[in-house]
Structure 1
Amino acid sequence: MPQSDSFYSTTDLSRKPGDIIAEALRHPVTITLGYKPRLVLLNIEDYERLLSQSDHRMPGTIETMPDALFSEFESAVDTYAQDDDGGRS
């Protein structure tokens, strides 16, 4: 997806929304508030592409971890503990 190279203030957006929306359909447009970038307008195809590429991992706890993953985790911890013990004198 192309990076935004057009910047408009919120005042610009209220004064000429049609022009800015038309531009946002072609490429992302940054909206500034107080000279700071605050929002990006982009077409739905770019938005959906970003969503499909996003990381869908969910936080969890050891209690909710699947058994197979917990076994791998436990094995990794044991290996780390053995390596750490071997380096101490």
Structure 2
Amino acid sequence: MPHSDSFYSTTDLSRKSGDIIAEALQRPVTITLGNKPRLVLLNIEDYERLLRQSDHRMPGTIETMPDALISQFESAVDTYAQDDEGGRS
């Protein structure tokens, strides 16, 4: 996705919304507030591409881990420990 090279203030957005929207259909447009970037307008295709590329993994704890996954994890640790002990002799 192209980087936003176009910056407009929120005042510009209220005054030139049609032009800014037309530009945002072609490439991302940054909206500033107090000279700081605050929003990005982008077309739906770029937005959907970002969603597809995002990482949907959720952090968890051992308490929330399913029992089957805990068993797999324990088995993998045991196997690793046995292999490591075998390599030290």
Q: Identify the TM-score tier after normalising by the shorter chain.
A: 0.7 to 0.9
Cα distance in 2 for residues equivalent to 1:35 and 1:28: 17
Cα distance in 1 for residues equivalent to 2:47 and 2:24: 12
Q: CA-to-partner distance for each residue in 1:13-64, whole Å, 9 max, x for gaps?
A: 0001000000000000000001000000000000000001000011222122
Q: What runs of 5+ residues in structure 2 fail to find an aligned partner?
A: 85-89
Q: Which residue of 1 aligns with 2:30?
A: 30
* Alignment of 1:20 onto 2:20: yes
Q: CA RMSD in A?
A: 2.1
> Structure 2 length normalisation: TM-score?
0.77
Cα distance in 1 for residues equivalent to 2:15 and 2:55: 37
Alignment of 1:1-89 (within 5 A): 1-74=1-74, 75-76=76-77
Q: What runs of 5+ residues in structure 1 fail to find an aligned partner?
A: 84-89
Runs of 4+ in 1 over 3 A off after TM superposition: 71-77
The 1:76–1:37 alpha-carbon spacing in structure 2 relative to 1, beyond 3 Å, is farther
Cα distance in 2 for residues equivalent to 1:68 and 1:2: 43
Q: Equivalent residue of 1:40, what SS?
A: strand
Cα distance in 1 for residues equivalent to 2:72 and 2:3: 40
Q: Equivalent residue of 1:37, what SS?
A: strand
